[in-house]
Structure 1
Amino acid sequence: MIESCPRKRMLLGISFLGALTVFVLIVESHWTEKNNSRKRMFPVEQNSTCWERETFEIIQECQPCTDFEIASKSIGVCIHTHYKEVLKCASGEMVTRSCDKVAYIEERLFWKFESFMFVAAFISTFCVHIRKRVLNKRMLQRVQRQLANSV
């Protein structure tokens, strides 16, 4: 059945599925950020948990720890997840806590992967097209030889 689909309809279907995939990824990423109801337990420097009982302000967004901080264990929260963020509680206390992952790094890795897959798909399509032309040319030459031998 798929062999009988015209090229335009096939490209339209693939484009639609690609757009649907990107749409689902965008909606899912926004939905999980807003509706993340489970409480995460991350290690906190100096055993301060003021951010659990007070309002707090994020001073420094989640960012990767340096290799020095991880190796020297100078910031204890870097040992667990290799990411840290700095908070300022309502009482004025500054707290460093572990966090999951850095959003901009994850997004950059995602788009690198998508770009690589697009290039790989383009190269594969090009190779298939070239191979198809070569096989068609061989078949045409064979038919011409058979016609020339039968005359």
Structure 2
Amino acid sequence: MANLFKRIFSEHGAKNVVTLFHKPSNAASTRVLTLLKQVNAQAAAHATEDQASSHQSQNKLERVEFELDVTEAPPTADQLKNIIDYLGGPSAVSKVISGAQDEPDAVRRLKADGDSFKRPLVVDWNQGKVVAGDHESEILSLLNSISKDSGKA
């Protein structure tokens, strides 16, 4: 299913959607939100500069704008399953759901208590990549992998 999303997005040249599962009262989550906003603003500024400059600079792999989706809601069960897959499968459930042993347990715990979901969590749905926590270098690496060529089939 994740490959289907990737193919659909890349065929239509849509922007990558990066979702931050956010908790405003969590300082780490607020830092991640600030970082994502700054990186997206810089990418937008560079995109505008590129439009006015020569086409030679557009051939380089550069970070491009992404659609930033910030939500305080926990993921849906389907989103959670994708997140777990992106993180490497069943062994990753405890990275996103406190105390979960496996995927069915994670879904059950999520439905019972949305606060069991660990935030911040950054998801690039197009690339199928996730960063759990406020690991700035990992988040920047994820964002740097969004290149101008990622939207081309």
On whether the aligned pair clears a TM of 0.5, the verdict is no
Larger relative contact order (C-alpha < 8 A, sep ≥ 6)? 2
- Relative to the length of structure 1, the TM-score reads 0.23
Q: Which has the larger radius of gyration?
A: 1
- Relative to the length of structure 2, the TM-score reads 0.22
